[in-house]
Amino acid sequence: MKKSLFLFLVGSILPAMAQENIFPNPEPIKTISAEHYRSLPGTDKTGETTPFIPAHFGVYLEKGTKAKWGFTKDEKYGGGGSCFFRYLPDDPGDGKKWRYNMLILGNDNRFRGSNAFRIKPNTDYVYSYYIKGNLDMIDPLLIFWPEEKADDSRARIDTRKGLNRRIPLSETWRRHSGYFRTPDNAGYMALALSPSLGKPRDAFWIAQIKVAEIPAVIKRETASRKFSVGVYNVKGKENIQHWLKQKKIPYELVNTLKNESINKYNILFLPDLKKLNPADAGNLDMGIPPMDFASALLNFVDGGGTLIMDRGVLGFHSVFETSMLTSDDSGLMSGRLSRGKLAAYDFSGTEPKTLEQFVRLAEKTTMYVVPPELTDATLGDQYLRRSIGISSQEKARRKKELIDAARLPAPHFDEKIIWCDSTYLKNDAQVATLMENCRKLGFTKVLFQANQGYFLFYKSRHFPDSEMIWRKRYNFDVLKSAAEHAEKNGLKFSVYIAGFKQFFPAPGIDPEITAADRVLLDSGAVTMKHFTDRTEKELYGVRWMCPGSPSNQQRLRMVCKEIIEQFKPDEIVFDFVRYSLGYEVPCVCDRCLKAKAAFAAAHLKIAPAELDREFARSEITALYSNLIAECKKLSPKVLTGCYTMSSTETPWVLALPFDRHYKYVSTRLSPETPMSDVRDLTIKFQKLFREHAPKVQFIPMLSSYDFKSGERLYAECAHLSSVLNELKMPKVMLYYTYATLCSDRVVQEKVNPEIAPGLSRALGGAWK
Ligand SMILES: [Zn+2]
């Protein structure tokens, strides 16, 4: 349900182009006199400016705005100066969050485009700029003008489509980037930045603006390279060197983390990040934005590199998310990101048994040259939002949220469910500790992972070949142990099943075929065998079993039956109740295509454009309706539930006949997800369900996608409890996940002391 990190880029199909900056005054160093600017037709005459302003820049100020803007040498990133925008003391200030104010980059004439810079129509571009400021946020906007109507302000196209919105600012220079495709017929463009309102004198500065066509991703030549392994030359490297020497794996010490230093290797060992060499681009203490070294590391992984970090580095939540790494029994945690891999273990401890094999495999992977701009605009953008250097306003806002929430009545819930992943658990003792912790924290029910794709976390009578790798390795039946310990601790036991997502190669399943796969199949480039025999690498995170396949469905039915009979769960929750590409993009394997043709013949009124959606709806609804009925037949009391994504659902998905539908009402800590979301989203979803599926019980989920303290979780629970009361909804909540409560988010034994007391207070627990 998570792992949004696994971005699969379209880079390899992008056209090969030069990556030349087409922005006319990037640094910005060229200036024109303010007098000259004012004499130009159509420019904004209301704002105060410096005597010289950067050429090709302009503003649009909403009536009443008092602001000053222009060129300054006092604040710069690399170049000769920057363009700034500052609210003046007599600005009317707050009252609303935004006014229609903009600093326009690349055009001085507000909404007429003949002075804007030239672009090609129907072309992919990337943009980036460095920005700092003590305003809360910036909202980017792209403005395009048609080739023939550059001077027609009404012919322009304003769009925020695909852009990240409301990006927080900090007092450190940081790079923001994004990518876009130009519309048909577009000949000119400008990039506008709308600042949120601020206090008098709040300002932002911008420099090093780049707009370039997105170049192609190409294979990297590694033939001339001497070593495939690099070790970052900082403290903590000694054990790695010792070990590499023992295994006769040649390596080189790397003195900086710049792209050009690290991109020649397949594998990079990273003992530490907190002590960057002065030569590195990036260290907050040195006033250089951390995005620089982070983007170099991300670019390395984006190009297929394997980054092996010390576990200590994982404290760097700003750079990598630990929850994406799964652990093997020798202590090596690994996961995929884009074309490459991330791994981590304790460099000071003993060497994990599986590390050598891991390195040998990584040595052979194909490497790509990915333009750093592309990495920044895709992978980098996600990390930008992690809170490296939160602005003081943002800190104040969060503090205020906590204080406000503390005034609410103490939270109360009748049922408190916690989502637990089985992949982390290796023995009965760990499960025992987990259950005890959950009870002490005040949870009343555990929701345990039953499968990972084809593989099962329990000993199956029907599918002995699908025992989880974990189970084979540890000879340990996770669900059996979990059900027993749940009972001992007075916790209700329930399971979740991830329908058709496939993580590992599995014998005999029918794979889902996507439209892209279909093209390959029809061209004769591959046969079905290619899809049934996919390796773990080819499968990870994206691949599905065909949800329409009768044998896949039968298998899922049998798994539900076994689970109900063996563990008598209170509830079965289904995750990934959809196809790999969403709810309405059906599989196009031979069987599904045939079924779709039959469906079309039986429903002649459905327009061809609606066919996929209607067919998907019919298939998914039939599958889960039958499954629910069978579960109820086996155990009339068993509850059925499903998790669906919060923003992409269609009304028919809401109406799937589960007893319960789970949806997030809290995820991250970013400014665009304020704590008031807990309340607002609960109201929004409850209303949607009442409208489309009055019988379904909507259960709100809280999560810690970003680290959340106990105090924060208490506040979220207080908001949730009060809105549940207000809406007269059942007092039920689900927290995702147990892993995020643990100190290192991986070893599931020690609950983080910064979380436990607050959460326990919120849930009426007995944590000491
Ligand atoms: Zn299919």
Q: What is the 3-state secondary structure (H, E, C) of 233-300?
A: CCCCCHHHHHHHHHCCCCCEEECCCCHHHHCCCCEEEECCCCCCCCCCCCEHHHCECCHHHHHHHHHH
Cβ(41)–Cβ(237) below 8 Å: no
> What's the gap in Å between 588 CA and the centre of ligand 1?
5
pLDDT in tens, 662-694: 999 998 877 667 898 899 999 999 999 999 999
Question: What is the average pLDDT across 683-709?
Answer: 92
523/521 Cα distance (integer angstroms): 5
294/175 Cα distance (integer angstroms): 11
Q: Which among 189, 260, 188, 181 has a CA at the least distance from the CA of 213?
A: 181
- Other C-beta atoms within 10 Å of 490: how many? 9
Q: Which CATH superfamily is domain 412-505+547-581+617-763 in?
A: Glycosidases (3.20.20.80)
pLDDT in tens, 29-58: 999 999 999 998 889 999 999 999 999 999
Q: Which residue has the higher pLDDT, 535 or 140?
A: 140
> What's the gap in Å between 469 CA and the centre of ligand 1?
26
In the prediction, which pLDDT does 393 show?
A: 65
CATH topology of domain 218-384: Rossmann fold (3.40.50)
> What's the gap in Å between 595 CA and the centre of ligand 1?
9
pLDDT in tens, 567-599: 999 999 999 999 988 888 899 999 999 999 999
17-213 and 412-505+547-581+617-763 share one fold: no
> What's the gap in Å between 486 CA and the centre of ligand 1?
38
Banded model confidence at residue 629, pLDDT cuts 50, 70, 90: very high
Banded model confidence at residue 236, pLDDT cuts 50, 70, 90: confident
> What's the gap in Å between 13 CA and the centre of ligand 1?
26
- Whether the pLDDT of residue 7 is over 60: the answer is no
Q: Which CATH superfamily is domain 17-213 in?
A: Galactose-binding domain-like (2.60.120.260)
- Whether the pLDDT of residue 762 is over 90: the answer is yes
> What's the gap in Å between 237 CA and the centre of ligand 1?
49
Banded model confidence at residue 542, pLDDT cuts 50, 70, 90: low
> What's the gap in Å between 514 CA and the centre of ligand 1?
9
Map out the domains of the chain as residue ranges. Answer: 17-213, 218-384, 412-505+547-581+617-763
> What's the gap in Å between 587 CA and the centre of ligand 1?
4
342/194 Cα distance (integer angstroms): 36
Beta-bridge mates of residue 218 = 369
> What's the gap in Å between 589 CA and the centre of ligand 1?
4
Q: What is the mean pLDDT of the chain?
A: 86
> What's the gap in Å between 547 CA and the centre of ligand 1?
6
Q: Which residue has the higher pLDDT, 282 or 433?
A: 433
Burial of 753 (C-beta count, 10 Å sphere; 0-12/13-18/19+): exposed
> What's the gap in Å between 539 CA and the centre of ligand 1?
16
> What's the gap in Å between 422 CA and the centre of ligand 1?
28
> What's the gap in Å between 545 CA and the centre of ligand 1?
8
In the prediction, which pLDDT does 324 show?
A: 62
Q: What is the 3-state secondary structure (H, E, C) of 633-687?
A: HHCCCCEEEEECCCCCCCHHHHCCCCCEEEEECCCCCCCCCCCHHHHHHHHHHHH
Look-up of token digits 């930045």 = 193
Q: Which residue has the higher pLDDT, 434 or 1?
A: 434
Banded model confidence at residue 235, pLDDT cuts 50, 70, 90: confident
Look-up of token digits 């810079």 = 117
> What's the gap in Å between 513 CA and the centre of ligand 1?
6
* Residue type (1 letter), 332: L
105/141 Cα distance (integer angstroms): 10
Cβ(291)–Cβ(174) below 8 Å: yes
